Amino acid sequence: MVNTKNIAILRGDYIGPEIMDAGLAVLAAAAKKSSFSYQTIDYPFGGAAIDQTGTPLPIATIEGCQAADAVLLSAIGGPKWDQASKRPEAGLLEIRNKLGLFANIRPTKINSILAKRSPIKAEVIAGTDFVIVRELTSGIYFGKPRNQTATAAIDASTYTVEEIERIVRVGFKMSQHRKQHVTIVDKANVLATSKLWRQVAAKVAQDYPEITLDYCYVDAAAMKIISQPTFFDVIITANLFGDILSDEASVLTGSLGTIPSMSAGSTGPNLYEPIHGSAPDIAGKGIADPISMIQSIEMMLRESFQENQLADQIAQAVQKTIAAGILTPDLGGTATTQTVTTEIIRNLEG
Ligand code: ATP
Ligand code: MG
C-alpha cells in the first residue's frame, strides 16, 4: 500500500508564494521519478490569512498543520500589516506553540562556488558545515517575572532539566549522522542555567559514547564561528544565545536567500522554512532566490521522510545550476526565479 505523506503548505506573504511555487515545482519533478507519494494542502496563514479571515492563524490552519506529516512555511509579514491589531508574526509564535516546536535547527554549510560571496576569507570558511540547535520555548524570552518600574527592570531566565534534556537529545541525534561532535554553548562561568545545561548534557552524552562532547562559552563561540567555523559540527544552545549565533552564522555563507531551517517537537510534524523574511523590496519582480525554499524541502525530505536519495538528487540539481552560473541577483546573477527553477528541474530530469 502506498503511504501518502500529507504536507501542509503555508504560502506566506510578498515573495513567500513566489518561492513556494518554485519549491513545489521542484518537489513534484523530483518525486515523479521516485516512489515518494505526497499530497499538499494549502492553509491561510500570516498576512494573507489576516486579509481573508481577520486573524493570522485561523483554527482550520492549526488543525490542518497538526494533522499533517510536515509543514512547509514560506516567509510571512511585511509593511502591509504594520497597523493590524494582530500582526502576522503573532501567528508564527502561536503555531510553534500549537505544534510544540521546541527546537530550531539552522544549517550553515559553505557552498564551494558561492564561497566568494562570504565576508570571511575563503581559506577560513572552506569545508564549514555545522548546525545550530536552538532551544525555542523557554529561557530568558519566556521567564517570569518580567517587569519594569521607573528605576529598574527584570527579565528572569528559567530552564528545567526536562527542557534541557529534550533539546540536547535532538542535537546528539543529529550529530550521529554527521561528524559526531557536539558543542554546548553557554555562559557557565556566570549563569546558573548554564551550569545545569552542562550537567544535563554530560548525562545525556553517556547514551552517545561515539560522540565527542565539548563546551564553549558563548563569547568565545561568537569569535570561533568567524575565526574557525570548521571546528563545529552540532552546536546546542539556549534560546537567547541561539538567536544571536544563528544570525551571526547565516552571514558566513554570504547568501541569505539560500538558507533553510527546521523546527522540531517531540510529537507531531516538523516545520520547515527559509530563514529570511518576506523581502517586500523585491516582491512581484520575479527575482526572489528560490534556493532557500528548495533546500527547506530537501531538509524536509531528509529529516521527516528519510528520503535521502531524493534529497541528494535535489541537492545535486541545485549545485549544478549554481555551477552553471544560473543565479538570481542576490547571488550576483541576472536570472529570474523562474529561470533558476526551470534549470533545477531540467537538471533533475536530465
Ligand atoms: P524579517 O524581519 O521578516 O526577517 P528582514 O528585515 O530581516 O525581515 P528580509 O525579508 O529577510 O528582511 O530581507 C533582507 C534582505 O534580503 C532584503 O533586501 C531582501 O530583498 C533580501 N532577501 C531575502 N530573501 C531573499 C531571497 N529569497 N531572494 C533574494 N533576496 C532576498
Ligand atoms: Mg530578519
Average pLDDT of 71-77? 97
pTM across the whole model:
0.94
pLDDT tens across 174-215, in order? 999 999 999 999 999 999 999 999 999 999 999 999 999 999
Residue 95: partners with Cβ closer than 8 Å, 6 or more residues away: 45, 57, 61, 62, 65, 71, 271
The answer on pLDDT for 80 being more than 80 is yes
159-174 mean pLDDT: 97
- pLDDT band for 84, please (50, 70, 90 cuts): confident
Nearest CA to ligand 1 atom 1: 277
- pLDDT score for 231: 98
ipTM: 0.94
Q: Reduced to 3 states, what is the DSSP secondary structure of residue 37? A: coil
Is residue 172 within a helix (H) or strand (E), and if so which, with residue range?
Answer: helix 161-176
Mean pLDDT of 141-159: 96
C-alpha dist (Å) from residue 154 to 133, 141, 148, 196: 27, 12, 6, 21
Q: Which of 13, 69, 233, 243 is catalytic?
A: 243
- Is 247 a residue of the active site? yes
Ligand 1 pocket, 277 CB below 6 A?
yes
- What domains appear along the chain, each with residue ranges and CATH number? 1-107+255-349 (3.40.718.10), 119-252 (3.40.718.10)
pLDDT number for residue 16 = 98
Residue 214 half-sphere exposure, CB side, CA atoms within 13 Å? 11
Q: How far apart are the first and last CA of the chain?
A: 29
173 is catalytic: no
- Write out pLDDT tens, residues 292-325: 999 999 999 999 999 999 999 999 999 999 999 9
d(CA 31, CA 345) in angstroms, rounded, equals 11
Of 82, 256, 292, which is best to mutate to test ligand 1, by the most ligand atoms within 8 angstroms of its C-beta?
Answer: 256
pLDDT at 1 over 80: no
The mean of the pLDDT values for the chain is 96
129-135 and 103-109 strand pairing: antiparallel
Average pLDDT over residues 24-35: 96
- Total residues belonging to the chain: 350
Catalytic site residue 187? yes
Give the distance (Å) from ligand 1 centre to CA of residue 242: 20
Whether residue 43 contacts residue 243, with contact meaning beta carbons closer than 8 Å, is answered with no
Tens-place pLDDT, residues 87-124:
999 999 899 989 999 999 999 999 999 999 999 999 99
User: For residue 2, what pLDDT band results from cuts at 50, 70 and 90?
Assistant: confident
